[in-house]
Structure 1
Amino acid sequence: MRGIQLPLSQTQKVRLQKALEKLESLSSKVNSNASVTISDSISVNHEDSVLKGHGTADLNGEVVATVCGIVERVNKLVYVRALRSRYKPEVGDIVIGLVVEVAQKRWRLEINYSQNAVLMLSSMNMPDGVQRRRTSVDELNMRSIFEEQDVVCAEVRGFQHDGLHLQARSQKYGKLHRGQLLSVPPYLVKRQKQHFHHLEEYGTDLILGCNGLIWVGEHIEGKDDMVDDQVNESAPEAVLPSKNYVSLDQEKNYTTLETRKYICRAANAVRVLSTLGFNITLEIIKGVVDLSLSMNLDIHDMLGSEFCVLVAEKEAERRSSNKKR
């Protein structure tokens, strides 16, 4: 059953098997032509000069797949995109990383990639919000912004000669705190239009990193970039944060118990979906959290075998009803 390691009873095994078979039947109807397994033949037009890319091989005059995945075609190039693979960055991706080194004018972040990413001091907003040149004083104070083991959200800027570069030029990026960092296989997080989510009914923020790192934390009110720009243009002296604002932020150094419970529920929902191998989206996470609340389930019981089976059955019902529509 997809390599799921759960202490299941015989009844739970049967129920989970039925749910997974139903999900596979629904997905196979959609991707039957595109999905291939190892040694499957890929239909190509041999009259054209076909270019065989990654995940393909020539066997007895036929193009066969060497990995399990989805067949992709770009002009004459045919390749197989593996379902389970390491994170491959693309420009514009939202990623979450751990600071592993503070170097000269840059931080190095571990982002679940084959090499550490680089966040330059010039590629992020300063704490005072002023757009200016970075000075030697800023470089000396880099550890006051990010230090080792800090969790940072950023955007992929692109590849340069010294590696993968990130940027954090918006108020929504930066250091993350008061929450949980979760790691899931990157292929479970699909690229979407929106990766920042505010769960208003729970008072929490959810960030789905394209690199497989997911952040669930307390909601933090962010500034509107358009408002900031208007303030900067009309009143230059107003760009510095007020003392009252800083003191209030420093005083509120705790998270309420109710919010912490919701953070743990959302985090456990992500863990359950990762265990089952389901795609992780806002809709499915909220569905799992609501299911646990409707059952009056304790937070730690969400990681039990029975709840995992229930989540699989509910997901099969949801996809089936969506297909009927």
Structure 2
Amino acid sequence: MMYLTQANDLDHSATLTQAMTKKASLPVAGVYNPLSAKIAKDQGFQALYLSGAALSASLALPDLGVMTADELIYAVRGILRASNLPLIVDCDTGYGEILNLMTLSQALDSMGVAAIQIEDQVMPKKCGHLNDKRLISVEDMCRKIVACKTSAKKTLVCARTDAGQLSINEAIKRAIAYRKAGADIIFVEALRTISDMQMVREKVEGPLLANMTEFGVTPETSMEEWEQLGFELVIYPVSSLRVAAATMKDFYKSLLESGSASQFKEKMMTRAELYEVIDYQHYEELDKTIVKSTVPAAD
């Protein structure tokens, strides 16, 4: 039973490393809670990404570094329990200084996450597709990478740079330095043109992560195009949350105006479908004394 399975029974870092050796780019589903993680797994995704922006938004908080490390760890635990898939965890700037980052990376490593992502912004940080981001020095970021590598036994380190706002050359310079410091995956945030994407691939060795977020500065690029560009991982960090939030907004508005939920019934999961996602019957089977429930017939 998934709930009784330890997430770190599998070496998710090794699984993700193996996936990055394949020719095809790997689509990575952005998730923000256990239910979204389980649905993504059921639909066939092989890896997941927990975005700080998505998790913050799910808590009705802005992506400005106000979420706590405890809130992040709680979310990670539930997502790993529900999916048991390789999970890349966005740790923003590390939730403090070096010792804080080492404590967090050690905790996430012990939980079995596949990769820890850290970025080179100054706190309070901002969404990578906004303006006026402030950066720490290359040296300080390299120290953070070394700290993660030192404190985590298996977990990969994904280093994100937001230096693209200065120039693509500065972003590439930092990316190369972060790779030399020990980063396993490089993430150059907010790439603005296909030319920039090509330059990053030409200049930076090793696995690259692409951020295919919506409503940002990066042009819409298909999985096939990312594959041709040579990016190993492609994340969709906030897409599912945006879809869910927009649907909930329309539903609540309609419910107040019409006094009925029937207009959205066709868009809902049925009771049986939801029970299948959450493994309802399997939980009942854990205790043979529980009478197996019967789902009412659909209307």
TM-score category (smaller protein): under 0.3
TM-score scaled by structure 2? Answer: 0.22
Higher relative contact order (CA 8 A, sep 6+): 2
Indicate the structure (1 or 2) with the bigger Cα radius of gyration.
1
Between Structure 1 and Structure 2, the one with more helix by share is 2
Identify, as 1 or 2, the structure richer in strand: 1
